[in-house]
Structure 1
Amino acid sequence: MRATIDGVLLADTDREHIILIEGSRYFPADSLTIGTLKVSPTPYVCPWKGQALYYSVETPHQEYIDAAWCYPHPKRSAIETVGHNFTGYVAFDTTRVVIE
């Protein structure tokens, strides 16, 4: 699966490496294109997953604020509920990022 925005590749991995959580596809960190994500200061805490880390996506055309996020230290109970350790996996806002 590939995640792109403005024709820029953000992530690319085989479907079996994707973790689906609440309708969002989470890509492993090693599938990300280096230099496309910039840490955002936006705070967010999910009641069941824990503290999120947001990213802005930078392309040659535009910056997309908070278009991606991950859970660097998800709650153990969330990992157990999901059935996979999704620490550091990155999801994208599908209203702006194309995933195919």
Structure 2
Amino acid sequence: MKAIWNDTVVAESDATVVVENNHYFPADSLKKEYFEDSIAHTSCPWKGRASYYSLRVDGELNKDAAWFYPETSEAAQNIKGYVAFWKGVKISQ
């Protein structure tokens, strides 16, 4: 699977995990040069507290376009450290 934004592959893996129709990519599949830490956080009742990354490609910023759970609940251990995308990031094979 590939995560693509601004015509650039920002993550690629054959080992994504699908939860609630979102592909979660292993951390080592991210092309780190496109990721910036964000101060944003949200909470999911069953997964835990999410942290975010923004994407920057060719000078364009997609704020908080990726999220992950640094610490997960017991029910979501399979995605601990994995990263999912939204805000126009296309997921394709």
Give me the TM-score of the superposition, normalised by structure 2.
0.92
Count of matched residue positions in the alignment of Structure 1 and Structure 2: 92
Is 1:22 the counterpart of 2:20? The answer is: yes
The CA deviation at 1:78 is 2.6
Name whichever structure is richer in strand by fraction: 2
The CA deviation at 1:70 is 0.4
Equivalent residue for 1:88, pick from 73, 81, 86: 81
List, as ranges, runs of 4+ consecutive aligned residues in structure 1 with deviation greater than 4 Å.
Answer: none
Report if aligned partners of 1:28, 1:88 keep a CA contact under 8 Å in 2: yes
Give me the TM-score of the superposition, normalised by structure 1.
0.86
SS at match of 1:74: coil
CA–CA separation in structure 1 for the residues paired with 2:7 and 2:59: 10
What runs of 5+ residues in structure 2 fail to find an aligned partner? none
Q: CA RMSD in A?
A: 1.1
What runs of 5+ residues in structure 1 fail to find an aligned partner? 80-84
The percent of aligned pairs where both chains have the same amino acid is: 40
